[in-house]
């Protein structure tokens, strides 16, 4: 049985609800997190992680490793 992966809004890692370090409900949606530090950062300021940013996108083919 495949598990649906969600994207941690803080670091961008894929997270399944069963393996998430935590979750948080905000604006009628549940967000899942790879680590408690990402969860804590999100809880402190959800709009910071949900609003589009001015940051440049990662190059095509780049791989991301969560710093947590």
- Tens of pLDDT, residues 11-68: 999 999 999 999 999 999 999 999 999 999 999 999 999 987 766 666 777 777 777 6
Would residue 54 be called left, alpha or beta, if left means φ above 0 and alpha means ψ between -120 and 50 degrees?
Answer: alpha
Both tokens assigned to 23? 């979750």
Q: Which residues fall within 8 angstroms of residue 6, CB to CB, at 6 or more apart? A: 14, 15, 16, 17, 20, 31, 32
26: β partners: 29
Give the pLDDT of residue 1.
46
- Phi, psi dihedral angles at 32 (to 5 degrees): -115, 150
Please tell me the pTM assigned to this model: 0.73
């Amino acid at each position: 049985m495949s598990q649906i992966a969600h994207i941690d809004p803080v670091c961008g890692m894929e997270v399944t609800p069963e393996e998430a370090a935590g979750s948080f409900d905000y604006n009628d949606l549940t967000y899942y997190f790879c680590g408690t530090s990402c969860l804590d950062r999100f809880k402190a300021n959800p709009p910071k992680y949900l609003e589009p940013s001015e940051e440049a996108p990662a190059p095509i083919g780049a791989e991301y490793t969560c710093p947590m």
